[in-house]
Amino acid sequence: MTDPRPIGERNFMQMCIRLLIEFLSDRHYDHPLSQQLLYKPMKKDFVNIMQFLFRQLDPNFLFSTKIEEDVGNCFRTLKYPFPISKTALAAVGTLHSWPPLLAAISWLIELLTYDSIVQEEGGDDADDNGDKEMFEYLTVAYKAFLSGNDDEYDLMTRKMEESFDAQNRKIQQETDVVQRENDDLRRQIEELETGQSLPSLNNKKRDYTHDRDKLKALVQKLEINKEKYHDSIRMMEQKLARAHHEYEAYQAKAAELQHRIDTQELSADDLERMQRERARLQELLATVDARFKGIQASHWQKETAISEQMDRVEEAVKEYMTLCRRLKLDEKHGSGIDFGISIDAHSGGAQAATALMLHLKKTIVPGLQHFRRQRIERLDRVLDRVVEAKVMTGQATSEMNDAVEAARGIDGQERKLEEAIRKEQEAMDAALELKSREIEEMELELERLQNDDDVSTGVGKAEKLLREARAAYAEMTEQYEREIDSRLRFIQHAIAMCIAFKERVVSQLGDAERAVRRMDE
């Protein structure tokens, strides 16, 4: 169940603190108390306040060694509607623990205030059954007895006896009346039992029987009151006798003291010396009181300063633990050393501080120094590997640049070769075209000669020239194809070498980058 009250707001906390201070001041709280102290109380102050409040309910209340469990059990017994965390009880003065505890204390104060009001109202409404009159008589009679006014004492005693006698007579008269009514009822019952109307008589009988029972109960009650008054009279007589004896003893003691005062020897110098001593002691008491108040104020200031210093220590420990988590300083990564610090600045005292200092000197500081040396050595190794990687990267870059320049040279040579091949191809095409035209001319000439019967001798010569031209054309074509094939193979080989070199350079660069990343990690 969530607390609907604004327990975290400053106004609500101030109201609860004022209520707590007023209640503790009214009930005479015997420990230091201030509004500043209640904003961040120490655990000792919290324990004193809770013990004082619980003693309002049970004067014999004491905490056991498990204070957190005692406080939680007490609030559960009182039906406090919200849970109280043991963690909050262990660290009382922290910002997240104190507001709900302060709200619980405010609830307990309201409960105690309501209980006192109910008890006062209940005491006023109680039926004293004559005890009040008896107490008033005892008060007046005892005062008269102590003052030695025997006449007034005897008069009060006679009045009290007359009052009791009057009450007894009244009770006796009421008893007689009831007895007569009972006799009348019995007589009427006897008469009615002999009558004719039995149902009506039975009804009357039931009514009369009921009235008789009521009267019997009344008589019994009056008899009880009568016995009670007689017992009260006897007790008062005994008390008066004891008071008379005490009065006589006091008178004898007073006479003895008066005799001692009258017979003792005390000069004026003794009286003056006693007065001076009294004045000196009063001045000394005032000085001691002022010094005590000063020491108390200084103590409160020092406690406040200590509380603030403890808060700063807690913040420093939290920052340290954050850095440990960032640096992975645990037992797994810290060579088996526990670098963690768990501290409650508001409990433990000097023993906890000594243990913490010992832990810091013997475990944490040497462990951190060892961790720092390891980090420096690892950093040196990483830097060496980075330098090596940079050298390798520079070499690879230089080789890659050389390869790129070589590739560019090969590309230039390739373009030149292509240009030369193109020119040679054009020249060969031109030569082939020329040869082709010559062949065509020769074929035309041959055809013309074949048509000319007179020129038979030139046919053989022309055919020979034609065969030679065709052979030259075939040889030139084959040579041209071989040259083109050779140039293409050379270009393909150069391109393959460039691609292989480029892939090797890229692979070396990738290996160098991965090595650098591993060293950085």
Residues 495-521 pLDDT 10s: 788 788 778 777 877 777 787 677 655
**Once rounded to an integer, what is the mean pLDDT over residues 413-428?**
76
Residues 349-358 pLDDT 10s: 566 667 777 7
Query: Residue 93 carries which DSSP code?
Result: T
Cα 9 from Cα 168, distance rounded (Å): 67
- Residue-wise burial string across 332-351, b where 16 or more C-beta atoms lie within 10 A, e elsewhere: eebeebebeeebebbeeeee
- Residue 345, pLDDT score: 52
Residue 120 has φ and ψ, to the nearest 5°, of: -65, -45
Q: Which two tokens stand for residue 320?
A: 């340290």
Q: Which two tokens stand for residue 52?
A: 């004082």
List Cα–Cα distances, 28 to 23, 31, 238, 298, in angstroms: 9, 9, 39, 22
Share of the chain above pLDDT 70, in %: 83
What residue has token string 């640096």? 327
- Residue-wise burial string across 273-284, b where 16 or more C-beta atoms lie within 10 A, e elsewhere: eeeeeeeeeeee
Residues 58-90 pLDDT 10s: 888 888 888 888 888 888 888 888 888 888 888
Residues 6-38 pLDDT 10s: 888 888 888 998 998 999 888 888 888 888 888
Cα 25 from Cα 381, distance rounded (Å): 70
Nearest to 355 by CA among 307, 65, 364: 364
Q: Which two tokens stand for residue 514?
A: 């991965």
- Residue 126, pLDDT score: 42
Nearest to 329 by CA among 291, 364, 373, 293: 364
Q: Which two tokens stand for residue 405?
A: 């320049």
State the pTM of this model: 0.28
- Residue 451, pLDDT score: 62
Cα 98 from Cα 42, distance rounded (Å): 10
Is residue 348 over pLDDT 70? no
What residue has token string 């309501």? 114
The angle at the Cα of 237, spanning 234 to 241, to the nearest 5 degrees, equals: 140
Band of the pLDDT at 107, cuts 50, 70, 90? very high
**Once rounded to an integer, what is the mean pLDDT over residues 81-101?**
84
Residues 266-319 pLDDT 10s: 666 777 888 888 898 889 888 888 888 888 888 888 878 877 877 787 788 788
Q: Which two tokens stand for residue 431?
A: 């030569």
Q: Which CATH class is domain 10-121?
A: mainly alpha
Residue type, 187: R
Band of the pLDDT at 128, cuts 50, 70, 90? very low
Share of the chain above pLDDT 90, in %: 1
- Residue 342, pLDDT score: 66
DSSP states along 274-332: HHHHHHHHHHHHHHHHHHHHHHHHHHHHHHHHHHHHHHHHHHHHHHHHHHHHHHT-STT
Nearest to 346 by CA among 10, 46, 17, 14: 46
Radius of gyration, CA atoms only, the chain: 62
The angle at the Cα of 438, spanning 435 to 439, to the nearest 5 degrees, equals: 85
- Of residues 367 and 22, the one with the higher pLDDT is 22
First to last CA, the chain: 49
Residues 442-480 pLDDT 10s: 777 767 766 655 445 555 666 777 777 778 777 877 887
The angle at the Cα of 366, spanning 362 to 370, to the nearest 5 degrees, equals: 155
